[in-house]
Amino acid sequence: MKITIRKTDYLRILEYALSERPDEACGLIAGEDREDGVREIKKVYLLTNTDHTSEHFSIDPREQLAAVKDMRVNALTPLGNWHSHPESPSRPSEEDKRLANDPGASYLILSLQDEEHPVLNAFHIEGDEKDRSVRREELVILE
């Protein structure tokens, strides 16, 4: 499986995540689930982490609802979410795995651990709550 994001959208996520430090930043991704198996992100949503910590996130429910409405209006498919790890690597934490309830979603994690070299990875998280399996998805940043 492959997922693409435009560089401008990647940079928006990066700038927002940097500005929200030391807290985790979060949001949603939407676009097109193409028949050739490529998931194309066409819009990213930068939303409020109501937890306001560097350890985990909860997306503001009202902002989430508004984003989902916007996806509907613009005929975009919800593809998953993204969040930042200000001080840890770009892979799902135990809590991220526990909370990943949508096996069809792409979970993007941006690590700012090395500020000079931010790392963005995409994951699929499947299986039941006690035995999740994590799969890396090929992520391509389009110039």
Between 34 and 127, CB nearer to Zn ion: 127
Residue with tokens 């509907």: 72
Look at residues 118, 45, 36 and name the one whose alpha carbon lies nearest to residue 79: 45
Least CB distance to Zn ion at residue 81 (A): 10
Least CB distance to Zn ion at residue 116 (A): 21
Q: Using the rule CB under 5 A, which residue among 54, 58, 77, 93 binds Zn ion?
A: 93
Residues listed for the chain? 143
Least CB distance to Zn ion at residue 97 (A): 9
Look at residues 91, 83, 76 and name the one whose alpha carbon lies nearest to residue 125: 91
Between 77 and 93, CB nearer to Zn ion: 93
Look at residues 21, 135, 124, 127 and name the one whose alpha carbon lies nearest to residue 81: 124
Stretch that binds Zn ion, among 28-36, 72-80, 92-100, 134-142 (CB under 5 A): 92-100
Least CB distance to Zn ion at residue 36 (A): 30
Q: Are 82 and 100 spatial neighbours (Cβ–Cβ below 8 Å)?
A: no
Between 6 and 132, CB nearer to Zn ion: 132
CA distance 6 to 19: 20
Amino acid at 36: D
Q: Is 96 in the site for Zn ion (CB under 5 A)?
A: yes
Using CB under 5 A, which residues numbered 8 to 67 contact Zn ion? none
Interacting residue ranges for Zn ion, rule: CB under 5 A: 93, 96
